């Protein structure tokens, strides 16, 4: 479904992605892990071209993502849900509007959009906060709104960019619960960037370990997380264990 | 960057630009018009409407109430239907506008303003402001009458009024102003005043030299009747007086200063301007430097330019040494003699004062001596008479003795012998002094002596009648008021006066020639006059016989119009800056953010010449230039290229600081991108609604769905 070949990206002299190859199959849940600054977020942002890679190729359902014009790219993005670390909600809109506004702007009837938005919010456990503004919600609730917004279009691919990194430990649980539920019940293909090892062990079908812009190890969660081969993954395991 | 606009936002931007330009032009023009109208109305309120008033009377502020009553009285009596308005008081001077009824707006009345209003309390003067009119300032007296006749023949001219050196041309209607102004200017061009100015110090016989100049012009250029000597002594009298005073002052200072004579050594040559150190005796504390002012063969004159010689009425003679520029001493140059008439004058005054005091005392003593002399004479005369009686008695006694008179006693005989002895002694003394006999005593003219003493007494009384005290006081005053100047101060002052008088070409004497017809080139004539009059220092100038003055009201309104244009220009610039900051900074900061997500620009040219700066510059130029010209703005020295550049600069400036002026919510934009929104949707729904309130925000509300 998603085929990344030789992806390259640098910021000035810093190499963020160094010839990365990755394939993700339909319905698969891939968890990308690694130390901070290893290129995890850059990798998934390049997938929907929120960040433009310098080189390489990305194919989504056989379509060359890097060759798309702006209109085609917009269509592609509608088919890829993206959950941000900082939630990225529109501050001036209500919760319901945040979830439905892109549906309406995409041409959907407003009432139909409202129904879909409410369903999406219900899926993440938010049935009664529709008219509130984002700043009136807790961080966990805001992230669940972000998830609902990504889900409402029923995308083929969900990209998660450290969705719990901005939350305190108490709120992390509620978001991970929602995510786990979605992974198990929707069957959507998911690429998740996270540091949550236990979560990865529970939900990932494959774990990809990155370091310095390269994939250093990948395989089943047990293999990569419990019996790592690469030095960085071993060090990472030790640090997490301690 | 262009792709950002391609999906529809270019339409929004275009509409925004058009609306911005229209609003900007209306705003700038509107405010400027309001200012213009306000000041225009204020001005009308102050000086009345066109033609409403004819003169402004300037009255001292403290007398304005009395003046108002008097003006009302004059108005009621002489100009029924008049208009009067008191306006601004400026610098302690109140101004009254006085409007004459139409039937009194005549040449006779306007030329007799002083006779009507001269007695108004506190009147400082007046200004004619008859409208419609054209004013010629500084009309040369030689052509005034001639001009008036010609001007009054012009179509549209009602009459002319002389107002001091000015000429007011009163017109039939306001519409005639441009046409008459043109004709007046053309008329004035037919005259030219050619002025020959001689440098200071030339005593010019203006009639003689003027005639010579006329002859030169006639010989060289022909048409003798074109030229007329109109030299007027009224010009430059003050300057003449000033320069004469300066010359007198210089002469006074020269005579007041110490005289310096240098007797040079035979081998030494001195030149004017050289400095010599006067080696004064050691009791002098300061150096005396003398500057050579004249070399006349062996006689060299100088002037003290530094130091002060000791106070002495005697000549001071000392050796002189050349004083070099660096302050060091050169060789011996000769003997330097300094004489100070100033000190001698002071000495003479002091001596005079002493003399006067002595004279007063002398007169008193002489008066007493004369009185004593008179008493001595009286005593002498009485003694002489007694001696005569005694002499007669002695003669009788002698005769009695000689005739053997029995009555004569022995005592009488003894007295007779003694007296005979006395008279013989007196007779011998008289013989020794050349007198013939004792009778000479009787010959003394006592009365004449008395008369002489009386004459002396009268003269002494006359001397005593003189008010010596007053003379002493005045001489003392003269002594005290003598300038207390040091020689170096005098020397420096003389040098300064000489520089002023000699070094500068100050208009001293001048000759004015009226030239009729075509204009002559004064520079060419200068060469001619210098050669023909054998004076290389004279200068030739050309002046007009009068200057058309712009209509005061028209001038004020023209200034107001300029102010309006400048205000509009300033507002255009401010408006453009505000619009760029409120609206376009949002677009620029969004573009900057989007570009940061793209691939880095590889072309070096584009990295240096950022297209975003170009966009900002173009937007700034378009807005400012359009608003500037639509609002009819005009700032002096700000031409079209300057406006374009200024707009460009403002645009670039706003691009540079776009994130500070209007920070974009990058996470919201990124969310919009990830949800598949187009750029125009991101702008309308995500970026613009929370941006700064402005035209873009306002216009966006019609398109915004959430």
pLDDT digits (tens, 9 = 90+) for B190-217: 888 888 887 766 667 777 788 888 888 8
In the predicted structure, residue B21 carries a pLDDT above the cut 70: yes
Which residues, including other chains, have CB under 8 Å from residue B674's CB and lie 6 or more apart? A48, A50, A77, A80, A82, A84, A88
Confidence of residue A59 (pLDDT cuts 50, 70, 90): very high
Strand order across the B157-163 sheet: B157-163, B166-171, B133-137, B547-549
Judge contact between A9 and A212, C-beta under 8 A: no
More confident residue, B521 or A40: A40
Torsion sign, CA atoms B284, B289, B293, B295 = positive
- Mean of the pLDDT values across residues B448-452? 82
Q: Do B600 and B686 share a domain, yes or no?
A: yes
* pLDDT at position B203: 65
Name the strand (E) or helix (H) holding A50.
none
Please identify, among B465, B490, B520, the residue that sits at the C-terminal boundary of a domain. Answer: B465
In the predicted structure, residue B598 carries a pLDDT above the cut 80: no
Instruction: Report residue B643 CA to chain centroid gap.
Output: 43
Q: Do B388 and B511 share a domain, yes or no?
A: no
Instruction: Say if B692 falls within a structural domain.
Output: yes
Torsion sign, CA atoms A43, A49, A52, A56 = positive
CA distance B618 to chain A (A): 26
**ipTM, two decimals:** 0.91
Which residue in B597, B679, B706 is closest to A52 by CB distance? B597
DSSP string, B233-286: TTTTHHHHHHHHHHHHHHHHHHHHSPEEEEEE-TT----TT-EEEE---TT--S
Instruction: Say if B128 falls within a structural domain.
Output: yes
Q: How far apart are CA B470 and CA B476, in angstroms?
A: 10
Q: Do B518 and B563 share a domain, yes or no?
A: no
* Region of poorest pLDDT, from A198-202, B50-54, B102-106, B299-303: B50-54
Instruction: Say if B298 falls within a structural domain.
Output: no
| CB-based contact, B701 to chain A, within 8 Å | no
Instruction: Say if B483 falls within a structural domain.
Output: no
- Mean of the pLDDT values across residues B679-694? 91
In the predicted structure, residue B506 carries a pLDDT above the cut 50: no
- Residues of chain A with pLDDT > 70, as a percent, come to 99
Q: Do B370 and B432 share a domain, yes or no?
A: yes
Q: Token pair for residue A57?
A: 């190729």
* pLDDT at position A171: 83
Q: Do B511 and B643 share a domain, yes or no?
A: no
In terms of average pLDDT, the best of A127-131, B180-184, B363-367 is B180-184
- Mean of the pLDDT values across residues B600-616? 74
Q: Do B519 and B600 share a domain, yes or no?
A: no
Confidence of residue B109 (pLDDT cuts 50, 70, 90): confident
Closest CA in chain A for residue B598: A52
Which residue in B597, B671, B676 is closest to A90 by CB distance? B671
- Residues of chain A with pLDDT > 90, as a percent, come to 62
Q: Do B563 and B671 share a domain, yes or no?
A: yes
More confident residue, B386 or A29: A29
In the predicted structure, residue B437 carries a pLDDT above the cut 60: no
In the predicted structure, residue B436 carries a pLDDT above the cut 60: no
Chain A hits for B665, Cβ within 8 Å: 91
Q: How far apart are CA A209 and CA A166, in angstroms?
A: 21
Q: Do B593 and B667 share a domain, yes or no?
A: yes
In terms of average pLDDT, the best of B5-14, B179-188, B411-420, B437-446 is B179-188
pLDDT digits (tens, 9 = 90+) for A7-49: 999 988 899 999 999 999 999 999 999 888 899 999 999 999 9
Distances (CA, A) of B85 to B47, B72, B91, B436: 9, 11, 18, 112
Please identify, among B524, B549, B574, the residue that sits at the C-terminal boundary of a domain. Answer: B549
* pLDDT at position A168: 84
Instruction: Say if B188 falls within a structural domain.
Output: no
Write out the residue range of the structural domain in which residue B413 sits: 346-465
* pLDDT at position B233: 46
Please identify, among B432, B465, B498, the residue that sits at the C-terminal boundary of a domain. Answer: B465
* pLDDT at position B505: 40
| CB-based contact, B697 to chain A, within 8 Å | no
Judge contact between A215 and A234, C-beta under 8 A: no
Rounded mean pLDDT of chain B?
82
Instruction: Say if B67 falls within a structural domain.
Output: yes
Instruction: Say if B539 falls within a structural domain.
Output: yes
Q: How far apart are CA B279 and CA B291, in angstroms?
A: 14
CA distance B681 to chain A (A): 7
Q: Do B446 and B523 share a domain, yes or no?
A: no
Counting the structural domains of chain B, the total is: 4
Confidence of residue B489 (pLDDT cuts 50, 70, 90): confident
Contacts A–B by Cβ distance under 8 A:
72
CA distance A89 to chain B (A): 6
* pLDDT at position B504: 45
* Region of poorest pLDDT, from A74-83, A100-109, B96-105, B419-428: B419-428
Confidence of residue B503 (pLDDT cuts 50, 70, 90): very low
Instruction: Say if B667 falls within a structural domain.
Output: yes
More confident residue, B506 or B125: B125
């Amino acid at each position: 479904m998603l085929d990344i070949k030789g992806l390259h990206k640098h910021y000035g002299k810093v190499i963020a992605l160094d010839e990365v190859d990755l394939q993700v199959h339909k319905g698969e849940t891939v968890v990308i892990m690694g130390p901070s600054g290893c290129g995890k977020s850059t990798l998934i942002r390049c997938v929907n071209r929120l960040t433009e890679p310098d080189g390489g190729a990305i194919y989504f359902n056989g379509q060359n993502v890097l060759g798309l014009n702006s209109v085609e790219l917009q269509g592609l993005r509608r088919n890829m849900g993206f959950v941000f670390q900082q939630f990225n909600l529109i501050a001036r809109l209500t919760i319901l509007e945040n979830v439905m506004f892109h549906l309406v702007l995409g041409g959907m009837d407003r009432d139909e959009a409202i129904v879909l938005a409410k369903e999406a919010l219900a899926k993440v456990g938010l049935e009664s906060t529709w008219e509130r503004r984002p700043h009136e919600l807790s961080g966990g609730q805001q992230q669940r709104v972000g998830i609902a917004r990504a889900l409402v279009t029923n995308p083929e691919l969900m990209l998660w960019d450290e969705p719990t990194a901005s939350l305190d430990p108490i709120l992390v649980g509620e978001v991970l619960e929602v995510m786990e539920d979605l992974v198990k019940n929707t069957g959507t293909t998911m690429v998740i960037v996270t540091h949550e090892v236990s979560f990865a062990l529970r939900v990932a079908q494959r774990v990809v370990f990155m370091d310095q812009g390269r994939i250093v190890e990948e395989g089943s969660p047990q293999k990569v997380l419990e019996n790592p081969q690469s030095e960085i993954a071993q060090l990472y395991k030790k640090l997490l264990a301690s | 960057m262009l792709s950002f606009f391609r999906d529809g936002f270019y339409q929004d931007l275009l509409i925004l630009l058009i609306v911005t330009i229209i609003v900007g032009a209306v705003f700038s023009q509107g405010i400027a018009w309001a200012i213009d109208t306000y000041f225009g109305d204020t001005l009308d309120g102050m000086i009345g409407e066109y033609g409403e008033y004819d003169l402004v009377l300037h009255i001292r502020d403290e007398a304005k109430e009395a003046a108002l009553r008097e003006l009302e009285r004059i108005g009621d009596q002489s100009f029924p239907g008049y208009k009067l308005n008191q306006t601004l008081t400026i610098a302690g001077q109140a101004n009254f506008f006085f409007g004459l009824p139409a039937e009194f707006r005549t040449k006779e009345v306007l030329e007799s303003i002083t006779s009507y209003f001269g007695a108004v309390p506190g009147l400082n003067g007046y200004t004619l402001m008859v409208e419609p009119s054209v004013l010629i300032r500084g009309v040369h007296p030689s052509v005034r009458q001639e001009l008036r006749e010609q001007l009054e023949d012009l179509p549209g001219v009602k009459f002319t009024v002389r107002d001091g050196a000015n000429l007011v041309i009163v017109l039939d209607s306001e519409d005639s102003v441009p046409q008459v102004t043109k004709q007046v200017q053309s008329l004035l061009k037919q005259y030219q005043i050619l002025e020959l100015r001689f440098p200071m110090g030339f005593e010019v016989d203006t009639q003689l030299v003027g005639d010579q100049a006329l002859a030169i012009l006639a010989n060289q250029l022909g048409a003798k009747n074109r030229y007329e000597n109109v030299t007027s002594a009224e010009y430059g009298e003050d300057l003449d007086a000033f320069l004469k005073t300066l010359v007198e002052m210089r002469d006074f200072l020269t005579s007041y200063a110490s005289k310096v004579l240098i007797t040079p050594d035979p081998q030494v040559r001195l030149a004017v301007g050289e400095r010599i150190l006067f080696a004064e005796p050691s009791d002098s504390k300061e150096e005396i430097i003398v500057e050579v002012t004249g070399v006349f063969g062996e006689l060299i004159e100088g002037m003290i330019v530094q130091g002060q010689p000791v106070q002495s009425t005697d000549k001071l003679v000392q050796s002189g040494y050349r004083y070099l520029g660096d302050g060091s001493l050169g060789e011996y140059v000769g003997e330097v003699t300094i004489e100070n008439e100033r000190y001698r004058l002071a000495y003479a005054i002091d001596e005079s004062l002493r003399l006067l005091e002595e004279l007063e005392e002398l007169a008193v003593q002489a008066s007493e001596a004369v009185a004593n002399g008179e008493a001595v004479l009286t005593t002498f005369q009485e003694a002489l008479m007694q001696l005569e009686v005694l002499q007669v008695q002695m003669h009788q006694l002698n005769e009695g003795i000689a005739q053997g008179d029995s009555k004569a006693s022995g005592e009488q005989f003894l007295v007779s012998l003694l007296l005979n002895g006395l008279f013989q002694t007196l007779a011998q003394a008289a013989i020794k002094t050349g007198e013939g006999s004792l009778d000479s005593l009787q010959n003394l003219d006592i009365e004449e002596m008395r008369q002489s003493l009386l004459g002396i007494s009268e003269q002494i009384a006359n001397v005593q009648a003189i008010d010596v005290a007053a003379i002493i006081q005045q001489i003392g005053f003269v002594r005290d008021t003598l300038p207390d100047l040091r020689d170096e101060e005098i020397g420096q002052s003389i040098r300064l006066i000489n520089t002023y008088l000699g070094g500068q070409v100050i208009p001293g004497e001048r000759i004015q020639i009226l030239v009729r017809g075509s204009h002559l080139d004064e520079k060419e004539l200068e060469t001619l006059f210098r050669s023909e009059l054998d004076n290389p220092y004279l200068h030739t100038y050309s002046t007009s016989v009068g200057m058309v003055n712009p209509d005061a009201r028209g001038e004020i309104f023209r200034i107001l119009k300029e102010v309006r244009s400048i205000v509009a220009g300033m507002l255009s610039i401010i408006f453009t800056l505000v619009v760029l900051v409120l609206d376009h900074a949002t677009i620029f900061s969004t573009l900057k953010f989007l570009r940061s997500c793209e691939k880095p620009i590889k072309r070096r040219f584009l990295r240096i010449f950022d297209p975003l700066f170009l966009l900002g510059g173009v937007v700034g130029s378009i807005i400012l230039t359009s608003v500037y010209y639509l609002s009819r703005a005009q700032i002096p020295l700000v031409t079209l290229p300057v406006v374009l550049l200024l707009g460009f600069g403002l645009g670039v400036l706003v691009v540079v600081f776009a994130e500070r002026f209007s920070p974009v919510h990058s996470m919201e934009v990124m969310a919009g991108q990830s949800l598949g929104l187009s750029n125009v949707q991101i702008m309308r729904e995500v970026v613009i609604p929370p941006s700064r309130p402005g035209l873009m925000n306002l216009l966006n509300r019609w398109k915004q769905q959430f």
